[in-house]
Structure 1
């Protein structure tokens, strides 16, 4: 069961080219995306209303798409505008469309009530195309429920153990209790580790005379979007007070988009604002992040296999799980709200 009245990341802008058809399943719904003649992204349900064949294996005809099972043609509004051998096209012959907003290189899609799709609700990720920052695009497919991945992102105490040679740093990082603040649609997490060793990925691209003060400050909001201010500066130079002297700063942008109950699309980038004229630095940071996220996938996939063997297994919460619990509470509350709305209005377009 998924939240529907929210913005999900459907893909990177480059994934939907000027002429081809692009298919991706989002919260269990097959979606077809393509660009019209003006370059605007169109999103239709990837299922012909006639016999359910995927439109993504059809063909483009101008701004329309023709199903190559029985030849029905659909326009950008999802209406069937041509049906071979049919003198009259039934008015109900249409496929569902979805609002899409292209912003800062991410394609955001609204899977619920189209009338409620407010673009102002999209989180700010301007670092993805800000000329003062540099990053490379990332994508990983998980055969795991998205909430297990969210749990991983909500508790960074795993870094020294899962990522000792990439993002981890020394084990003192795990002993720090983060500050967790509840937001209207998620949580805000603040973690400072003072006088610690810089993690391996940072030492590869920047040198410090000794230990560093390290921070991770991020919002994790519905449906599962992480926007993070992170970095490190020489220890004792005032970073906790806002004086980021000779710092390595990053703005992590990560989005989990459920594919099905058992699989997830993971979009990410790790923009940095130093050495932006050195592409090898950007590449090194990206490769470290990719390696670390592969490590996450390994442990979380193993976790899911273990849990599948005992569906009634009860996890024992620790104090470090405060953010996980609060975010799952936010998800449950939104699901309950949407269920009440559907019950009160059977015709609501969120089903």
Structure 2
């Protein structure tokens, strides 16, 4: 059967961790099949190095941080933030050329972005800003886990929300139960933006309850989605409620995805809202969204198992797949451009 896999762009920013995960204790992770260790230096900035001691095949993440350096728990070799070995306990002279890879890092919002491609290109292509994740006007909660599925399956899922009503009728806005309006898609060389306007419909019961809005009135609604980079989706759902009834309610959904390898993807997700502020509402919403995302994860992992067993088939696509097909084209071109 036809193989639809394309590989993964390396010249891109990937969120390897949430800011809260990185501290003075080394954090080992993997991305694009590459072992990476993250830690905070003495000034609080994040350092990303190759997670393998230059002396022997032992993870640096099993060592400890000493100021700005990370020290191997086996050899005692110490490496600075550039990856250069600066100290060897058994001799005064450091072996010539002893070093580990060092990767550009940007901490933006509450995410730690790492560039694993050509280092000279990183400064020319800064990560996409996500100010709503830390802006006081938005309340945000989220989570992170690893999905046993290739990143392409996650991209396909984010590009089409018409599955929501089938996968989880509880979380689904009632508007999704009707025939989907036409999807409007806008393209650049590296991004896909899309939207559709849904006819007036009631709010989901859980949303009306936490916001105090009417459970019976119908309101126009808009879906917007954006593939902003190989490792980032940012979507939103607006419910246009008149100002005298509380004003427009907006959810923003942020998905930072990183290919661990061809069959596993790290997924950091965030749900932000501009209404019903406070921890009490977040505590009500978190299990609702977490339950949905876990259902999606199980479905995508099942898809990966089918592909691993039977290969890629010839999918039957519909109008709702337009954005997903464009994302696939962009990713294929980015990988091809890297040679």
TM-score (norm 1): 0.88
| Counterpart residue number, 1:65 | 70
| Counterpart residue number, 2:226 | 219
| Counterpart residue number, 1:111 | 116
1:3 paired residue among 3, 9, 27: 9
1:299 aligns with 2:296: no
Structure 1: distance between partners of 2:287 and 2:69: 39
| Counterpart residue number, 1:55 | 60
User: Shift of residue 77 of structure 1?
Assistant: 1.3
Structure 2: distance between partners of 1:120 and 1:100: 12
| Mapping of residues 74-223 of structure 1, within 5 Å | 74-118=79-123, 121-169=126-174, 171-173=176-178, 175-206=180-211, 207-208=213-214, 209-223=216-230
Structure 2: distance between partners of 1:293 and 1:178: 23
Task: Choose between structure 1 and 2 for higher RCO, CA contacts under 8 A separated by at least 6 residues.
Answer: 2
Contact 2:139 2:274 in 1 (8 A): yes
User: Shift of residue 174 of structure 1?
Assistant: 5.1
- 5+ residue gaps in structure 2? 1-6
2:41 paired residue among 36, 40, 47: 36
Structure 2: distance between partners of 1:171 and 1:252: 17
| Counterpart residue number, 2:4 | none
| Counterpart residue number, 1:329 | 329
Taking a change above 3 Å as real, the CA distance of residues 301 and 174 of structure 1, as seen in their structure-2 partners, is farther
User: Shift of residue 244 of structure 1?
Assistant: 10
Contact 2:28 2:38 in 1 (8 A): yes
Structure 2: distance between partners of 1:258 and 1:330: 16
User: Shift of residue 67 of structure 1?
Assistant: 1.3
| Counterpart residue number, 2:3 | none
SS at match of 1:4: coil
1:16 aligns with 2:22: yes
SS at match of 1:121: coil
TM-score (norm 2): 0.91
How many residues matched?
A: 331
User: Shift of residue 133 of structure 1?
Assistant: 0.9
User: Shift of residue 95 of structure 1?
Assistant: 0.3
Structure 2: distance between partners of 1:79 and 1:307: 42
- Cα deviations by residue, 1:263-311 (Å, 9 ceiling, x for unpaired): 11111111111122x3211222232221111111121112222222211
User: Shift of residue 52 of structure 1?
Assistant: 2.0
Q: Which runs of 4+ in 1 moved over 4 A?
A: none
Contact 2:180 2:198 in 1 (8 A): no
Structure 2: distance between partners of 1:58 and 1:75: 14
Contact 1:135 1:269 in 2 (8 A): yes
Taking a change above 3 Å as real, the CA distance of residues 257 and 34 of structure 1, as seen in their structure-2 partners, is same
Structure 1: distance between partners of 2:28 and 2:298: 26
Structure 1: distance between partners of 2:327 and 2:226: 11
Contact 2:63 2:70 in 1 (8 A): yes
User: Shift of residue 120 of structure 1?
Assistant: 5.7
Deviates further, 105-114 or 216-225:
216-225
User: Shift of residue 153 of structure 1?
Assistant: 0.5
SS at match of 1:10: strand
